[in-house]
Homo-oligomer: A and B are copies of this chain.
Amino acid sequence: MSLIVAKFGGTSVASPERIKMVAKRLIAMKQAGNDVVAVVSAMGKTTDELVGLAAALSSNPPAREMDRLLSTGEQVSMTLLSMAIDASGYRAMSFSGSQAGIETDNEHAKAKITLIHADRIKSAIAQGIIPVVAGFQGIDKRGDVTTLGRGGSDTTAVAVAYGIGADVCEIYSDVDGIYTADPRVAPRARKLDAISYEDMLELSSSGAGVLQSRAVEFARRYGVVIHSRSAFSDAQGTLIKEADSTMEQAVVSGIAHDTSEVKVTIRDVQDHSGVAAQVFQALASNSVNVDMIIQNISEEGVTDITFTCPGADLPRARTVMESLLAPLGAREYAVDESIAKVSIVGTGMKSSPGVAARAFQALGDSNVNILLISTSPIRLSVVIDALQVEQAVRCLHAAFGLDSDTVFEEKMLSAEELAAKKNKGRS
C-alpha cells in the first residue's frame, strides 16, 4: 500500500496499443492497493515532428511560442492515457503542467521549477482517481507555458512525487535499470540494485543516458527515491537514493562514456595573465558549455589551451576561436571531433587511494592512449580516441571488478535462441 508516481517515456506511449499497456499497468498498481499518479512524455516522435513544423516557419522561433507548441505533445498523451484508463473502468483525470500546479521561472526551453501546488492532484487521489500529469512543462507567473528542457518529464515526475509526498518515483523506460556500464559497449555490465544520488549524478553527467541529471539532482535535494525500471517487464530495476549500508560497497559504481564531445586546442597562445579568462569568458558568453580544460606548461612565453565541449556547441566555439586568434596572438586552433570521454564513478573512490593508478595501468595494458584527464572526488574522466572507446570501457570495467559472469546479449535471448547459439558454437 504505497503512494507511487509512475513516469512513462515517449516510447511507452508511442501508439494507442502501448498506451493501453500503460493503462493496464497503472490499474494493476491500483488493484494491488496502491495510489498512483502517472506522468507522461509526448508520444514517440511527436516532439521531433513539432520541431520540424516550427523549423518550416522560422529559423529562430520565439522561445515562448516554441514552448507552447512543444507542450501540446504531452497534453495529447495525457488525455489519451486518461481515456484508456477510463475505458477500462477506472477513473482518471489529466493535468497539464499548469493544472498540476507546476510553477516555473520564465526561462523558456529550460525553465526551473520554483513551486508545486499539488492540492488538485492530492484531492483527485483522495477521490480514487488516477491523475495523469503532462511531463516536461510548467507555467510561469504570467500564465505562459514553459518547458523544462528535453527529458524534462523525469524532473516533472520527481517534482510531483515530492509535491504529493510519494513513497517512490518510478521511472519506466526501455532499459531495466542502471548498469555498471552501457551493456551495448560492455557486454559484461551488471544491473545495480541500488545506487546513491551522488554516483548517479556523476554517471548521468558523464554520459549515462538513462536518467536526466536534473531529475536526480532534484530527487537528492528533496529526498525522493527513484526507481528506474523497464516499461516492458515487471522485474525490479535500480533504486536511486541516499547512500546507505544496504548498497554494494564497491569502490567504483560504474563506468560511463560519452562520444558527443569535441576537443578544441588553441596553439601558441601568448602566455600572459588573463589569457585563459579571456578565452573562457568569450566561450561562456556565446553559450559554449566547456567541460574539461587543460593548459600546457608555458614554453618560451607561449602555450596551448585545450578544452572539450558538446559537439552541438562546436559552430559557436569556432566563431569564438576565429575572433580570438588575433587578439591572443595565437597561431591557429585545431578541432578533434573523434574523441570519447570515459569516466569511472564511485563514492567509494574518496576513501580508496590508487584508483587513478589502477585505471591508467589498465588503459596502458590495453594500449589506450590518454589525451586528457580530469577528476572530481568521486569521478575520474579520461579523454581518448573515439575508436578506442569500447576497449577502454571494457578494460576499466574488468579492472575495477565490475564484470558479471554472464554476458549481456545472452540475457536478452530466449532459451531457444541461447541453446541454438551454444550449439552453433560447438559445431
Interface-located stretch among A77-85, A253-261, A351-359, A386-394: A77-85
The reply to whether B79 and A58 contact each other, CB–CB distance below 8 Å, is: no
The reply to whether B86 and A62 contact each other, CB–CB distance below 8 Å, is: yes
Quick check: is A59 within 8 A (CB to CB) of the other chain?
Answer: yes
- Evaluate whether A80 and B57 lie within 8 angstroms (CB atoms) in the complex, with A62-B86, A72-B72, A143-B99 already known: yes
Residues of B within 8 A of A86 (CB): 58, 61-62, 65
Copies of this chain: 2
Residues of B within 8 A of A84 (CB): 57-58
Quick check: is A113 within 8 A (CB to CB) of the other chain?
Answer: no
Q: How far is the CB of A99 from chain B (nearest CB, A)?
A: 6
Query: Which of A60, A72, A99 has most B Cβ within 10 Å?
Result: A72
A75 and B69 CA atoms in complex are apart in Å by 7
Quick check: is A25 within 8 A (CB to CB) of the other chain?
Answer: no
Quick check: is A94 within 8 A (CB to CB) of the other chain?
Answer: yes
Residues of B within 8 A of A54 (CB): 79-80, 83
Q: How far is the CB of A419 from chain B (nearest CB, A)?
A: 39
A69 and B81 CA atoms in complex are apart in Å by 11
Q: Give the contacts of A47-102 with B (CB-CB under 8 A).
A: 50, 53-54, 56-62, 64-66, 68-69, 72, 75-76, 78-80, 82-84, 86-87, 92-94, 96, 98-99
Quick check: is A112 within 8 A (CB to CB) of the other chain?
Answer: no
Quick check: is A33 within 8 A (CB to CB) of the other chain?
Answer: no
The reply to whether A75 and B76 contact each other, CB–CB distance below 8 Å, is: no
A20 and B57 CA atoms in complex are apart in Å by 7
Q: How far is the CB of A79 from chain B (nearest CB, A)?
A: 4
Which of B59, B64, B78, B83 meets A87, CB within 8 Å? B59
The reply to whether B57 and A76 contact each other, CB–CB distance below 8 Å, is: no
The reply to whether A53 and B76 contact each other, CB–CB distance below 8 Å, is: yes
The reply to whether A76 and B50 contact each other, CB–CB distance below 8 Å, is: yes
A182 and B9 CA atoms in complex are apart in Å by 50
Quick check: is A223 within 8 A (CB to CB) of the other chain?
Answer: no
Residues of B within 8 A of A99 (CB): 143-144
A66 and B93 CA atoms in complex are apart in Å by 11
A58 and B72 CA atoms in complex are apart in Å by 20
Quick check: is A16 within 8 A (CB to CB) of the other chain?
Answer: yes
Which of B16, B66, B68, B96 meets A57, CB within 8 Å? B16
29 A-B pairs with C-beta separation under 8 A: A16-B53, A16-B56, A53-B76, A53-B80, A54-B83, A57-B80, A57-B83, A60-B87, A61-B83, A61-B87, A62-B82, A62-B86, A64-B94, A65-B82, A65-B83, A65-B92, A65-B93, A65-B94, A66-B79, A66-B83, A68-B78, A68-B94, A69-B75, A69-B76, A69-B79, A69-B83, A72-B72, A72-B76, A99-B143
On A, residues with C-beta under 8 Å from B are 16, 19-20, 50, 53-54, 56-62, 64-66, 68-69, 72, 75-76, 78-80, 82-84, 86-87, 92-94, 96, 98-99, 143-144
- Extra contacts, 12 of them, besides A54-B83, A66-B79, A69-B75 (Cβ < 8 A), are A50-B76, A57-B87, A58-B83, A59-B87, A62-B82, A65-B83, A65-B86, A68-B78, A69-B76, A69-B79, A72-B75, A75-B75
